[in-house]
Structure 1
Amino acid sequence: MIPSFTERRVPVADGVALNTAIGGSGDPIVLLHGFPQTHLMWRHVAADLAADHTVICPDLRGYGDSDKPEGTESYAKRTMAADVVALARELGHERFALAGHDRGALVAVRAGLDHPEAITHLASLDVLPTLDMWEVMHGTSAAVGFHLYLMAQPPGLAEQLIGNSADVFFGHFLDLWANDPAAIPPEVRAVYLKASREAVPSIVADYRASATIDVEHDEADRRAGRRLRMPVTVLQQDWGAALGFDAAARWRAWAPDLEHRTVTSGHFMAEEDPATVVKELRELLAR
């Protein structure tokens, strides 16, 4: 658990409740975790923000101790974003700030597009919007995203392959993506691996949705000219240099009120460099 936080299960949809850590008081901010993690990834950031905010850290549907419905359609980011809005309302908050890392950032972006009346500020940590992610992945440089293509396959193959070697598979990303392995100590790593091992079908479904349903939703929004209306901060490794694209320009097409920052930490920046993440989130909330 995050020190001084309480955990409870909060119903957000028929048959779906989210395991949620809640702490602090003040204006609300919801923090969404990434892959292959749980809400515990926010432990440092959440503790700092709780000094003057109500901080809400759920396990996404399909992850951690939250419910895990079956089927790819259950993991459309539109559905997962609706979970987040329902969660905040169930806790008494009609409007709230929202920050997401990795998979959680994709949910946060969809929430900002679908529910602009609810989201006051939005932060994305180390990801591109779904449609842009697929557009920039090409050639041999796309090998870094092999897991995206694996989990995009029809049901069956990915679940079996990953399920047969879950700790090796999920541990690969914890090792590869962290510049500072000490940022994820053994006891936290064990939590992530256990949670992921027990959620292989739903994690795969989440990724499969991003190769199908989520792309369709993003394409429709691009055609309609929908944008994120709230202040947006993006923290990102220098993906553009590696993959040959302008990350800030990609984001600006979706978010006119944008602050884009390149970070020096690894992918797990909320654990590797929480001070920078807290600073940027506080500056976002002041906009």
Structure 2
Amino acid sequence: MGLLIPGFDYRRVPVADGVSLNAAVAGSGSPLVLLHGFPQTHLMWRHVAADLAADHTVICPDLRGYGASDKPAADTNTDTDTDSYTDSAAYSKRTMAADIVALARALGHDRFALAGHDRGALVAFRAGLDHPAAITHLACLDVLPTLDMWDVMRGTTAAVGFHLYLMAQPPGLPERMIAACPDDFFGHFLDLWAGDPGAIPAEVRTAYLDACRAAVPSIVADYRASAGVDVDHDRADRDAGRRLTMPLTVLQQDWGAALGYDAAAVWRAWADDLEHRTVGYGHFMAEEAPADIAKALRELLAR
């Protein structure tokens, strides 16, 4: 299984037909599920999880398609005349959010707090909209909702998100390109996005690259879904006026200054009870500033 979070028990939990998630579990008290981002695994939470397990039941899964969790084939329609190649329901955030609710229930928790980083934050956002009765508190780290993300990516500033456009392409070319040099591709983001490169030691970096190398098709499918079906789900919710009703904390870098938008205003459009903070860390903030992130999550849980 590779690197583990010390003191955590590991379980393989069925969450859907033919899909089980690898999950690290420790602690006691009110439950908190932590979802990782790209290009990482549940190990990104190792410091924060150990801190929070002192007074909470902490559950750290690998998302569907990542790490040691199952990687079902994407049910992708390749009819490019209708652009339906983007509608990979197996990796929609709706499907991945349902995985997390099923995981928590299988572990005995009908209601739980949920925090996600990057891709995991998109899953957490969707869980908050689709399963409001299950999510007591919500945290989203360094991300925008999918629909808003595409809205603000424009002009030359969009070059920072080249991977979003690459993995949105029809099946075949993105997978072949990334599989040709996976360590270079995934390592590029570990290097570029780290405010403190020392926060990801060599053995953890190796674990991330090993996991990503083995998951190229499912990672691409996750991103491809965010250029299609995930946008459709967000737009339908926006049009219907659906909002996040639980306390929400958002921590993110100052993307708005770089890309020309008001990040806090974007999130206020979705949330009734929002605490938005701009932070000075790099993207991998749970590894770069774990004490601060744990403190912010404890403050959220106290709301």
TM-score (norm 1): 1.00
Match of 1:217 in 2: 233
Match of 1:257 in 2: 273
1:132-151 correspondence to structure 2 within 5 Å: 132-151=148-167
Residue 275 of structure 1: CA displacement?
A: 1.0
1:38-77 correspondence to structure 2 within 5 Å: 38-71=41-74, 72-77=88-93
SS at 1:233's partner residue? Answer: strand
Query: Quick one: distance in 2 between partners of 1:50 and 1:252?
Result: 30
Q: What is the Cα-based RMSD across aligned positions, in Å?
A: 0.4
| 1:114 and 2:130 matched | yes
Residue 224 of structure 1: CA displacement?
A: 0.2
Q: How many residues align?
A: 287
Residue 206 of structure 1: CA displacement?
A: 0.0
1:62-211 correspondence to structure 2 within 5 Å: 62-71=65-74, 72-211=88-227
1:246-285 correspondence to structure 2 within 5 Å: 246-285=262-301
> Residue 9 of structure 2 is aligned with which of 2, 6, 11?
6
SS at 1:127's partner residue? Answer: coil
Match of 2:83 in 1: none
The alignment-based identity, stated in percent, is: 79
1:220-231 correspondence to structure 2 within 5 Å: 220-231=236-247
Query: Quick one: distance in 1 between partners of 2:28 and 2:5?
Result: 15
- Kindly provide the amino acid, as one letter, of the partner of residue 29 in structure 2: G
Residue 84 of structure 1: CA displacement?
A: 0.3
Residue 190 of structure 1: CA displacement?
A: 0.2
- Kindly provide the amino acid, as one letter, of the partner of residue 149 in structure 2: M
Match of 1:20 in 2: 23
Query: Quick one: distance in 2 between partners of 1:15 and 1:103?
Result: 22
- Spell out, residue by residue over 1:164-184, the C-alpha distance to the aligned partner (whole angstroms, 9 max, x if none): 000000000000000100000
Query: Quick one: distance in 1 between partners of 2:269 and 2:25?
Result: 34
- Spell out, residue by residue over 1:220-251, the C-alpha distance to the aligned partner (whole angstroms, 9 max, x if none): 00000000000000000000000000000000
Query: Quick one: distance in 1 between partners of 2:89 and 2:191?
Result: 30
Query: Quick one: distance in 2 between partners of 1:48 and 1:106?
Result: 24
Query: Quick one: distance in 2 between partners of 1:2 and 1:261?
Result: 28
Query: Which structure 1 residue ranges, 5 or more long, are not aligned?
Result: none
Query: Quick one: distance in 1 between partners of 2:178 and 2:247?
Result: 38
SS at 1:89's partner residue? Answer: helix
Query: Quick one: distance in 1 between partners of 2:204 and 2:99?
Result: 26
TM-score (norm 2): 0.94
Residue 73 of structure 1: CA displacement?
A: 1.8
Runs of 4+ with deviation above 4 angstroms: none
Query: Quick one: distance in 1 between partners of 2:277 and 2:7?
Result: 31
Query: Quick one: distance in 1 between partners of 2:189 and 2:226?
Result: 19
SS at 1:65's partner residue? Answer: coil
Query: Quick one: distance in 1 between partners of 2:272 and 2:194?
Result: 31
Query: Quick one: distance in 2 between partners of 1:73 and 1:95?
Result: 25
| 1:36 and 2:52 matched | no
Query: Quick one: distance in 2 between partners of 1:58 and 1:212?
Result: 25
- Spell out, residue by residue over 1:116-171, the C-alpha distance to the aligned partner (whole angstroms, 9 max, x if none): 00000000000000000000000000000000000000000100000000000000
Query: Quick one: distance in 1 between partners of 2:147 and 2:37?
Result: 18
Query: Which structure 2 residue ranges, 5 or more long, are not aligned?
Result: 75-87
Residue 278 of structure 1: CA displacement?
A: 0.6
SS at 2:163's partner residue? Answer: helix
